[in-house]
Amino acid sequence: MREFDPSRLDVAAFAKDAGELSGDWPVAKLERLADSVAADWRPDRRPAVHWLARGEQRGVPAGQRQAWLHLHADVVVAMQCQRCLLPVEVALKARRSFLFVHGEASAAELDADSEHDVLALTRDLDLKQLVEDELLLNLPLVPRHATCPTPIEVKAAQIDPPDDAPHPFAGLAAWRKGRSQN
The conformation of residue 124, written as its DSSP 8-state character, comes to S
Task: Report yes or no: 35 and 12 within 8 Å, Cβ to Cβ.
Answer: no
Strand partners, 26: 48
Q: Around Cβ 101, how many Cβ atoms within 10 Å?
A: 20
Task: Report yes or no: 71 and 99 within 8 Å, Cβ to Cβ.
Answer: no
The mean pLDDT value for 108-137 works out to 86
CB under 8 Å to 101, separation ≥6 — which residues?
Answer: 66, 107, 110, 118, 119, 120, 121
Average pLDDT, the chain: 84
Q: Read off the pLDDT of residues 2-43 as tens digits, 9 standing for 90 and up.
A: 889 999 999 999 999 999 999 999 998 999 998 888 766 555
Q: What is the pLDDT of residue 123?
A: 85
Q: Read off the pLDDT of residues 61-70 as tens digits, 9 standing for 90 and up.
A: 666 788 999 9
The mean pLDDT value for 86-107 works out to 88
Q: pLDDT-based confidence at 163, cuts 50/70/90?
A: low
Task: Report yes or no: 142 and 82 within 8 Å, Cβ to Cβ.
Answer: yes
Task: Report yes or no: 81 and 145 within 8 Å, Cβ to Cβ.
Answer: yes
Q: What is the pLDDT of residue 1?
A: 64
pTM (two decimals): 0.75
Q: Determine the distance from the C-alpha atom of residue 21 to the mean position of all C-alpha atoms in its chain, rounded to a whole number.
A: 21
